[in-house]
Amino acid sequence: MESGYLCRLAGAACALDSCGNGTREAGEGCEDGNHVSGDGCDETCTRVELGFDCPIDGAPCGAKACGDGIVAGLETCDDGNASDGDGCSRRCQLEAGWVCNLPNAPCTTTVCGDGVVEGTEQCDDGNDLPLDGCLLCQLELGWACPAGLPCYQTVCGDGVLEGAEQCDDNNPTGADGCDALCQRETGFACPTVAQACHQTVCGDGTREGDEACDDANLAAGDGCDPLCGVEPIYDCSNGVCTPTCGDGITLYPFEDCDDGNLTSGDGCSSLCTREPGWSCTDFSLSAPASIDVPIVVRDFRGYDEVGTGDGFINGNGHPDFQSYGCAIPTTGLVQPALSADGKPAFASLTGSNVCGQQLSSQASFEQWYRDTNQVNHTVVLTLALGQDLAADPTGRTYVYDSTNIGGFFPIDGLFYGNTPGNAHNFSFTTEFHAYFEYRGGETLNFNGDDDVWAFINGRLAVDLGGLHPPSGGSVTLSNTDDPSLGLVYDPRFDIFEGGIYEIAFFHAERHTSGSNYTLTLAGFVNTGITFCDAVCGDGFLRGTEQCDDGNLDPGDGCSATCTLEPRPDCGNNQLDAGEACDDGNIVASDDCTNQCQLALCGDHVVWAGFEECDDGNAVDSDLCTNACTLPICGDGVVGPGETCDDGVNNGSYGSCTWDCARPTAHCGDGIVDTLNNELCDDGVNDGLYGTCNADCSLAARCGDGHIDTAYGEGCDDANTTYGDGCNGVCLVEVGWQCVGEASVCTPIN
């Protein structure tokens, strides 16, 4: 093979080697910006490697599924399950104090100070003394601790990479890419030890140094931002980053609507275009009067509750709730960036220490925003933010103010019930995630209690931790052009004008002294989930309409709001002609409707106490299932915002991830999974000649030992080698004769 070319298939034409340029070209199955195998995309950019997923060109590949027993991407372990507390977390990250030596096998505990380097330990010198090279089993800067040997001080600038050094360019000076402590400086790459570092160039198509991606341009909003950081909510699987239809985020002008599903017939089609006969929220033309933000609420028991069973830990409720106290917020309880799984990361028990301890332990804090069996219960509700035209005549400011409704108590009477001795259910956490197109000048304000943390693009923006009375915090995003970029840029959150970014908001109600929650979002709401309502009076029965007779006249059986009016004689407690029941009332939502028909799922009327919803259609993947229940992850139905839900959701082969975000490794995903007995998987699996069968076995092909005359084969010697009589496309070569299956070829004398 000549230099600069790749020959991917025997018998096929070679092509110029474009692998590693950050842009997926014809013939490439992936493109991660390098020529290295073992990182998800092989060294020729031909195929995605087993256990990996490579959705964004020029960016590192990630793991296909945590719990599949394959350590891939950013995974540091994979013990074959997606559970926390066993050494390998449900995000496949090695947990402190554990070692996971083998994939798809149980982890074991480690002991710092036993002289054995295991798990997350970088060193273990058998003691806990500082300044000897190894502290808490982590390397100290300027030291190296070879396995089985004493630690020693390293010499930065000697051209040898060792110990805690990230680089060594053969000199001890900084400002050249490798600083005086041999730590790589921001904006540089140091690929070769003892040689000079060089500045990285975002937009050159080569990912190196701190770059998370490089798509060969400096545009924001295309999946890779102008500083080569990965932007969220894009589908880059086809080489071009586009908004994902069905993710519940309407991104104009690319999408006309997005209602969180790929179902047509509900106002927003499977292609994210509007359907006739529906009135849909339009975030591009005018801001709606209110927006509904999905909010996750988790219920806990307070520490002063005593008992056993669900919600109790060692005889009491959760140690962080109904505990501690302070008159002002405590900062510094969480780290300045979200964790790998998008949650606040523990930093300290005392934070700024204005009132001492505010948390009982890191382990207890990590239960706040994660579903934990026998510790909390979870429900997804909506938070309705109303338009504040008085404060902002443009209509782009929205407010939720719990003082208007007597406090913030979203789960009264649910799960563990109202807190003993109180009229409300205290001790809960909330979180929500929303996306916005950054334009500059957006403002977030919050006032309430207790802990509140807001993150923009994964970076901490509001820090009101600890127990405290109602307190306020705010952040305003930069509205100033960066002269070097020519567009608005806020370096605090690494966001660029025109890019799509996430707001993540986390809150905890931890004491029965009160519960208040006032949130103001100014300028953020220019994307969102589309809500479509049928147009009442157009003569077409759609959505939640119970009827539509083509007018808005009352008294004709169908009201001006398209609800059924009671039929004559219904409610007289007598069974008249055409009636299936008559309970003496005209209540539509009991077991005998105001049409005097027995209530059933699919009649457009919510049967109180039995149905959660009733949209009168047979679509199982919209906002109301065919069982008249609200969709949730794990119900076995792919609902709004979900891409996979088989009711198992354990991350195993052929299943779905625990959060319903995507399917796990399966036949048909385009990756040959030999661990699960796949022989072939081209992602199409249509059984055509030379491809793969639907069960991931090999379809008929040249080299299978069978002569397929229908496909032009003249021989088949069970290989695709040239020069042995039967060539690479299963034709008899000149001067040879071939007989039988598998063909035996001999030269003609």
Look at residue 360 in the predicted model and tell me its pLDDT.
Answer: 95
> If we measure between CA atoms, which residue out of 627, 630, 625 comes closest to residue 381?
630
SS3 405: helix
Q: What does the mean pLDDT of the chain come to?
A: 85
Look at residue 237 in the predicted model and tell me its pLDDT.
Answer: 44
Look at residue 362 in the predicted model and tell me its pLDDT.
Answer: 94
Q: What percent of the chain has pLDDT over 90?
A: 38
Per-residue pLDDT of 514-549, as tens digits, reads: 899 999 988 876 566 677 888 888 888 777 788 888
On the question of pLDDT at 732 being above 90, the answer is yes
Angle at 218 between CA 396 and CA 250, to 5 degrees: 35
The predicted model gives 546-571 an average pLDDT of: 89
Per-residue pLDDT of 367-377, as tens digits, reads: 999 988 899 99
Per-residue pLDDT of 457-492, as tens digits, reads: 889 999 999 999 999 999 999 998 888 777 888 989
Look at residue 424 in the predicted model and tell me its pLDDT.
Answer: 95
Global pTM reads 0.49
Per-residue pLDDT of 237-252, as tens digits, reads: 443 445 667 766 676 6
Look at residue 1 in the predicted model and tell me its pLDDT.
Answer: 64
633: number of Cβ within 10 Å? 20
| Token output for 329 | 């917020």
Residue the block writes with tokens 């908001």: 505
> If we measure between CA atoms, which residue out of 285, 312, 314, 286 comes closest to residue 301?
312
On the question of pLDDT at 579 being above 70, the answer is yes
Backbone angles phi, psi at 592, to 5 degrees: -130, 110
Look at residue 231 in the predicted model and tell me its pLDDT.
Answer: 59
Per-residue pLDDT of 304-333, as tens digits, reads: 999 999 999 889 999 999 999 999 999 999
Q: Where are the beta strands (DSSP E) in 426-515?
A: 428-437, 443-449, 452-456, 459-464, 471-476, 481-482, 487-490, 495-496, 500-509
Sorting pLDDT into bands at 50, 70 and 90, what band is 633? confident
Return the bridge partners of 738, or none.
Answer: 745
On the question of pLDDT at 159 being above 90, the answer is yes
Residues 6+ apart with CB under 8 A from 116: 110, 124
Top pLDDT among 128 and 586 is at 586
Per-residue pLDDT of 592-609, as tens digits, reads: 999 999 999 888 888 988
Residues listed for the chain: 749
Do residues 232 and 503 make contact, with C-beta atoms less than 8 angstroms apart? no
> If we measure between CA atoms, which residue out of 469, 424, 430 comes closest to residue 448?
469
Top pLDDT among 205 and 282 is at 205
Domain ranges of the chain: 291-522, 700-749
